[in-house]
Structure 1
Amino acid sequence: MTEQHYLGIDIGSITGKVAIINQDHQLIDRVYLRTEGQPIVCIKKALKEILDRQGALPIAGAATTGSGRKLIQTIVGADIARDEITAHAVAAIDYCPEVQTVIDIGGQDSKLILIRNQLVVDFAMNSICAAGTGSFLDKLGDQLGVTIDEFGSCAICSSKPASISGRCTVFAESDIITKKNYGYKKEDILMGLCYRLVENYKTNLGRGKKIKSPILFQGGVAKNQGIVKAFSEILAEELNGDQLIIPENHDVMGAIGAAILAQEEMELRQVQTKRFTSSFLGWEIPNIDYQTSSFQCDHCENLCEILEIIREGEVIGRWGGKCSRWDIK
């Protein structure tokens, strides 16, 4: 049987992740990049990296997830777009079929997913307050002159973690300045921040939720050793003697989940409609010129701002309207 390849893209506000798997869910290639405020450029660059390493792999199906999934679906011609909860849950179940809890912490949001018998039974998301996300660590690490890559290794050297007050980034930042002035060690403040983030996460997302082991920790923040240590201690009762599970490709699990969903979708289409050719636009995407523009619709009192995506002079997508007047048919 010819090897089939499926493409998954997870596009968020801070990072873009791309994964390619085969029909057996083996990871063929992956890319993790910061968007730097330009999600289209980010995904074009990611696809170019894979193209340079793998050549023009035939893609049997493509899917997008993340906050920018509809935009990137239009850009790459993905067959489907799915929400982050579904994508992360699918990847977690594929990695560990017995999983009951998924912790995902990204740059601007965090998620808690409860799974029983391989079905999502409950979830919670925090996309409003930064105090339970990676940007919390990124911003406050800057106050101490520590990059996000250095954060974890420095934090676990702490012998006496500082108590960081407040459930808000603003208050935590003020507390850091105070503790710096009092001469606290850098590693003690950093580890204190790790405990604060995990406590915020459990308070904001875990309240009233039945967290059970096995627990998977995924997302970019899972590489932070200080956060892993804090979760292992604060969730000790829930772990019940088990270890916190961190997948090898924890940072691209959303993209892997999207790729699995693409495979499921295309196999379902083949059975139901006999139509299984992917709408993926191909490996020329990195060379295609995409532009954005906007205008205000004055057709009614809503005065919607309509965003347009233009590919080589042709409008291929519009967003922002409260009605279907400007939708691309």
Structure 2
Amino acid sequence: MENLYLGVDIGSVSINIVAIDEQNELVFKLYTRNSGNPIQLVKKGLAKFKQEVEIDQYKVAGVGVTGSGRQLIAYVLGADTIKNEITAHARASTFYHPEAGTIFEIGGQDSKLIIVEDGIAVDFAMNTVCAAGTGSFLDHQAERLGIKIEDFGGMALEAERDVRIAGRCTVFAESDMISKQQYGFTKPEIIKGLSVALVRNYMNNLVRNRVLKGEYIFQGGVAANIGIKAAFEAEIGSEVIVPQYHDVMGAIGIAMLAKRDVKRSGQESNFRGFDLTEEEFATKSFECDDCANNCEVIKVIADGRTIAVTGDRCGKWTASLITDSSITANSSKSETTQTVVKDQAAAEEKLDLYKTDPEAEKQVMQELEELEKDDQTEKEDNILV
């Protein structure tokens, strides 16, 4: 029976699920829009996995979860590895493109820049404040212009010239596009102008004074837009590579990291099994008033059983879960996953801080470097991903 490793990327716009084998070959891939119920979508994704893959021939030996919704889904699945998107995207990129130096990643609601040296992410920047240039914004503009998003990039390449569009803000960009339409500019010209403006905005907000170097990798859902790719190439004066699996690179990267972590630990996976597709999940929250923190404590419930608790800074309610005699045989896996999630808490707080306070960037990087020190020494201990 061959081992498989699941990778799940829970984003605000899409949910991606992949499975890789021991050779890091992609066995299963699913990219689906996030309609607001990630648990149900993950359950459907696993059901589809069971339909398309002969699971009797495989064993799920590891599970990794990344993305903005990773904490909840980690509990639901029984994850072995939980990492931020920066780490996951960098891992996949450097596997497929060992010479990668700069990674442009644009998703549904945010944008990322990752600087890589010797296969390790050494610097990054994130833009989660403004949606200009993200997938959701481009979807909206395509709908407003009456064209399919699939045709957006190709139409930009048809234009013989571009018009200047304000790309710093979604409101200004849309207003400027409407104004240019009223002046008689064609749709291809406006779309090309928008593509150039969005790339210019990306460079101004994320790159700033950073020194970029090739290979240049462009991934995320927006990487399918050949107009944006062309605008990046024109801006930096170099070829930009779009990986074959650009839309699920985060999921692939976290699957690879889960494989590495499981092999290092020598333990069985925490995966709760495919029976979870038949379970009913719910979340409940309450405010703990035992101290001045007033934490919002969130419980994850499966078929009436509390399988995870999060949000308590002191660990009081987490401890109550571990000692609760009503928890069934799955409790040991829930405990382990709970520990994995808690181990990431410090770095997650730093990332949240960075999203609201750009001045905290150095602090974030120091925390990530400490958390990912195993990645830094991977070449030394010669452990294969």
CA contact (8 A) 1:15 1:34 kept: yes
**Do the aligned partners of 1:102 and 1:114 also contact (CA within 8 Å) in 2?**
yes
Per the alignment, residue 147 of structure 1 pairs with 148
Structure 2 residues without counterparts, runs of 5 or longer: 323-385
Cα distance in 2, alignment partners of residues 132 and 306 from structure 1: 35
2:2–2:59 Cα contact (<8 Å) kept: no
Alpha-carbon shift at residue 302 of structure 1 (Å): 4.3
With normalisation by structure 2, the TM-score equals: 0.79
| Kept in 2: contact 1:111–1:205 (CA 8 A) | yes
Q: Is residue 267 of structure 1 aligned with residue 258 of structure 2?
A: no
User: Across the two proteins, how many residue pairs are aligned to each other?
Assistant: 318
What secondary structure sits across from 1:58 in the alignment?
strand
Asked if 1:36 is matched to 2:35, the reply is yes
**Which of residues 255, 264, 283 is equivalent to 2:274?**
283
Return the alpha-carbon distance in structure 2 between the equivalents of residues 130 and 59 of structure 1: 36
Q: Distance in 2 between matches of 1:258 and 1:165?
A: 36
Question: Which SS does the other structure have where 2:282 is aligned?
Answer: strand
Give, in whole Å, the separation in 1 of the partners of 2:311 and 2:108. Answer: 24
Map of 1:127 onto structure 2: 128
Matched residue of 2:316: which SS? coil
Which residue of structure 1 lines up, in the alignment, with residue 10 of structure 2?
A: 11
Decide which structure has greater helix share.
2
Task: Give aligned-pair identity as a percent.
Answer: 44
Deviation at 1:322, TM superposition (A): 4.2
User: SS of the counterpart of 2:168?
Assistant: coil
For 2:312 and 2:143, the matched residues in 1 are separated by: 39
Correspondence for 1:50: 49
Aligned to 2:251: 255
Which residue number corresponds to residue 299 of structure 1? 290
CA contact (8 A) 2:9 2:16 kept: yes
Q: CA deviation at 1:48?
A: 1.3
Unaligned runs of 5+ in 1: 271-275
Trace 1:98-113 onto structure 2 (pairs within 5 A): 98-113=99-114
Q: Which residue of 2 aligns with 1:181?
A: 182
| Cα pair 1:162 1:191 within 8 Å, conserved | yes
Alpha-carbon contact 2:217-2:242 (below 8 Å) kept: yes
The 8 Å contact of residues 60 and 277 in structure 1, kept in 2 or not, is answered as yes
Native 8 Å contact 2:289 2:295 kept in 1: yes
Aligned mates of 1:35, 1:83 — CA distance in 2: 18
Residues 207-245 of structure 1: CA distance to partner in whole angstroms, max 9, x if unpaired? 111111111111111101111111111111xx3xxx211
Q: Give the superposition deviation at 1:252.
A: 0.5
Q: Distance in 2 between matches of 1:245 and 1:127?
A: 24
Give the letter aligned to residue 286 of structure 2. F
Q: Confirm or deny that 1:212 pairs with 2:213.
A: yes
Question: What is the CA–CA distance in structure 1 between the aligned matches of 2:141 and 2:294, rounded to whole Å?
Answer: 39
CA distance in 1, matches of 2:15, 2:305: 25
User: In the superposition, relative to structure 1, how do residues 227 and 311 fare at CA in structure 2: closer, same or farther (>3 Å)?
Assistant: same
Question: Is the 8 Å Cα contact of residues 192 and 227 (structure 2) preserved in structure 1?
Answer: yes
Please report how far the alpha carbon of residue 166 of structure 1 lies from its aligned counterpart in structure 2 after TM superposition. 4.4
SS at match of 1:247: coil
Letter in 2 for 1:229: A
Query: How much has 1:123 moved relative to structure 2?
Result: 0.9
Using the alignment, how far apart are the partners of 1:110 and 1:129 within structure 2?
A: 9
**1:136 offset after TM fit, Å?**
2.4
Tell me how large the CA RMSD over aligned residues is.
1.6
